[in-house]
Amino acid sequence: MKQLLATTNDTILTFVRLILGAVFFAHGAQKVLGWWGGFGFTGTMNAFTHMMHIPAPFAFLAIMAEFLGGLGLLVGLLARVAAFGIAVNMTVAVLTIHRHVGFFMNWYGNQQGEGWEYHILAIALALVILVRGAGAYSVDGALSAKTS
């Protein structure tokens, strides 16, 4: 458990963690709470399971990775676990949906979906947290200091 929580007082890690956490909390809140034009939990589960044919347990894990992962990153609690969930979520999204569209996002509305450039940025940020930890001002840092 000590290795899972271990981190440094690096404020750059904190910045990376907060940015990734804010983005994924917002996406997760759309899916869970229906905020910012989202479908809410039931609507998202229906879309994932019926329209996208994702098995319900995997759909649930994907939704929770964004919502709880985003929350975990915002406070720095189990940041490596949260970053792992987000990295897996984004990797699956690239491999199953977005790779067919191409690299670039659909800035001009002339593609059949979004490319994967956003996803690899999220994966890269998640990998930094996965390897280095939550950084300064994190619950992980406070807990790991107590166990030292």
Please answer whether residues 136 and 71 qualify as being in contact, where contact means their C-beta atoms are separated by less than 8 angstroms.
no
SS3 string of 41-92?
HHHHHHHHHHHCCCCHHHHHHHHHHHHHHHHHHHHCCCHHHHHHHHHHHHHH
| Confidence tier at 128 by pLDDT (50, 70, 90) | very high
pLDDT tens per residue, range 3-24:
888 898 999 999 999 999 999 9
pLDDT value of position 61: 96
Cβ(138)–Cβ(75) below 8 Å: yes
For the segment 72-93, what is each residue's pLDDT rounded down to a tens digit? 999 999 999 999 999 999 999 9
pLDDT for position 148: 55
pLDDT tens per residue, range 39-49: 999 999 999 99
The pLDDT confidence band at residue 105, using thresholds 50, 70 and 90, is: confident
CA distance 71 to 48: 22
Token pair, residue 132, equals 């280095």
pTM for the model: 0.91
